Amino acid sequence: MRAFVLGNGKSLANAPWERLRDEVTFGVNRIHLVYPKTAWRPTFWVAADRSQYGRQGDDIEFHVLQSYLCYIRADMMKDVRFYDPEFGGNPIPDTVRLFDHCGHIEVTRNPSTGWHLPSLCSMAGSLSVAMQLAFVMGHDPVYLLGCDMRYQAHRVNHFDPNYVDYDMYSAERVAMTTANLIAGHKHARDSYARAGRKLYDATQDGGLTIHPKADLADVL
């Protein structure tokens, strides 16, 4: 069965949400900012970027109260007071699947040389983990949306201008983010190819060159 993995680039603002409602989809991080505009909801939600935007505690609490399965890096649950033993330690819902932080961080600090399934590699963040989950679940083909790969310093780089504080996006941060994402995409490309499965980039006008392209209009 095919699946769609959604990055949160600017192009995602124009996604055909209603046509994705019956598809298997993986959303990541702050995808909920699009919820007021559509009845679409992801089949799975993934959170592996603990330090990305500083509001992950509130975001996690929101998502785990939804009806879909949430895959969350285990150490990030400490950011949610509702589930922290220090503040009462409420039971974690059955819709939550926790995975360990493997210790791989980024291309300049303890980088991963590839996926190490069955444990998930957390390097390159939530999108990379979502691609791994789609792989582990056996989806084929898998299509990427919203993977624009056009990060710019101090500019809106996501589908919602309120996604993060873009004053934080220095040239150095943009370079590091881009390098990490490229590494994650290369790991995905190699793993899917070795297994004889298809991974396509269906991002509208995206700048990613690692995967073969697919026209989303044709796919849907």
Domains and CATH numbers, the chain: 3-219 (3.90.1480)
Output the pLDDT for position 85: 66
Give the whole-angstrom CA distance, residue 108 versus residue 13.
Answer: 32
Strand partners, 6: 145
Q: Check if the beta carbon of residue 124 is closer than 8 Å to that of residue 183.
A: yes
Q: What residue ranges of the chain have pLDDT lower than 70?
A: 51-54, 84-88
> Looking at residue 52, what is its pLDDT?
56
pLDDT of residue 56: 83
DSSP 154: T
pLDDT of res. 54: 66
